[in-house]
Amino acid sequence: MIIHVVSAGETLWQISNRYAVNMNTTIKINGLLNPNQLLVGQSLVIPKPGTSHIVKYGDTLWSISQQYGITIQTIIQGNQLTNPNVLYPGTKLFIPSITHVVQPGETLWQISSRYGTTAQAIINENQIQDPNMIYQGMRLIIPRAKTAIEVNAYTYQSNETTVDNFNEIGNLLTYFSPFAYMIMEDGTLQPMNDKVMVDAAISKNIVPMLSITNFTSTQAGSNLAHVVLSNPDLREKVLSNALQVMDTKGYKVLNIDFENVLPADRENYNQFLQLAVDRLHPKGYLVSTALAPKVSATQAGLLYEAHDYEAHGRIADFVVLMTYEWGYRLGPPQAISPINQMRRVVEYALSVMPAEKIFLGFQIYARDWLLPHVQGQEAETFSPQEAVRRAVKYGASIQYDTTAQSPFFRYVDEQGRGHEVWFEDARSAQAKFDMVKQYNLRGVSYWALGYPYPQNWALLGGNFAIKKLAL
């Protein structure tokens, strides 16, 4: 797929013709509400078969062509390179797909074997209805191997809405986690109405992950965590109750999301994680945790000090890095998930735990701050789709912060008030996916389902093969 950034005066018809793609497909894949109103700076996912390559030091057109099994001329033409002898590190090149013209008597199995792929992958890529009806001269797109990752998504939606999400994107999820079972001071768990969504997940081969937490939107939960973590009997009781829910409802993974834990409870928290593993592993269950975005072992603050990256990485089966909320709803306007800050967190995590245990946290919502910002004033939170709708409504041009790899815009509302909106688009999603590939991370974890963002799901499927686990 290609990401195209709209310039002044461009129309969707012109863009579709330029890339020789179906305009209606482009409308659908981007969820365009009004295809006749494109914004300067708006990014579009263009459904053109192919992949991208980030030029590295030492790359040449010859080495790149060998890597992808295409000719140098194909790369030159596909990128309209005016000086093929000069490649700058960091440049993104579009790598066209490999095409195969069916020869007399060839079968999909023979073609797939020739290119080191599978017949099913070719069927999916070309939307072949009847695999027995391929014919001489038919042009087939040969899919390249994709990096395989796991994908989790948290949700706090209703059963019905979550099931609708599964019907749309269930093929792109390895796990899902309803948020959340609240621990109580007596070691019990506050019940959740989650049976319908858990059953639906299992039917879609999505692994249900039980999330337990100590905090709410109004309660930090520090004292609650202390009561439970400092008492060996309560630690056992919480896990017994979690196991009962998992056994009864079909959960296969426990996700421990204790936040604002007192620094004095750091070792208690580590002991709780070890106890969880000791009790869950014999039953075939996994244990995961959610970690605040730290950049060093000595980072101060209530969010960070009790989150021992080295211990979590050693004890748990995997961790979710909560690499979002720099653009906090009660703070000043800024990118919610700036890639430069996310990278610092990932690189620290990699210094103390293996890449195969790390999920990159990915927020899929936008925020609108009033200007000038007043301390404590809350920003409005909504979907990336709503962000684009507002930009269209107020005629805003979308800008892009290249350091944060995040789009934003400003507008003035009907009352004359200034606003600043930061959101996610195709470019920011691709930047995060590129980082997952660069560091060979285990996967991506979304916070949270319920914010429409069709570009993301199209790019996720275009970049990765999503692992499905045996239930």
The set of catalytic residues is 259
Encoded tokens for 107:
């079968």
Q: Where are the alpha helices (DSSP H) in 49-178?
A: 61-68, 72-79, 108-115, 119-126, 159-169
Q: How far is CA 22 from CA 26, 46, 255, 425, 458, in A?
A: 7, 9, 42, 21, 16
The DSSP bridge partners found for residue 257 are 213
Torsion, Cα of 185, 297, 209, 365 (10° steps): 100
Count Cβ atoms below 10 Å from residue 13 Cβ, excluding itself: 11
Q: In which region does residue 141 sit, left (phi positive, over 0), alpha (psi from -120 to 50) or beta (all else)?
A: beta
Q: How far is CA 278 from CA 145, 197, 239, 352, in A?
A: 37, 28, 11, 22
Encoded tokens for 213:
């937490």
The DSSP bridge partners found for residue 60 are none
Q: What residues have CB less than 8 Å from 269, skipping those under 6 apart?
A: 225, 229, 258, 261, 306, 307, 308
Q: Where are the alpha helices (DSSP H) in 56-148?
A: 61-68, 72-79, 108-115, 119-126
178: part of which helix (H) or strand (E)? strand 175-178
Query: Residue 130 — φ and ψ, nearest 5°?
Result: -125, 105
CB 385 within 8 A of CB 33: yes
Three-class secondary structure of residue 297 per DSSP: coil
Report CA torsion sign: 144, 148, 153, 159.
positive
Give the largest CA-CA distance in the chain. Answer: 73
C-alpha to C-alpha distance for 234 and 311, rounded to whole angstroms = 21
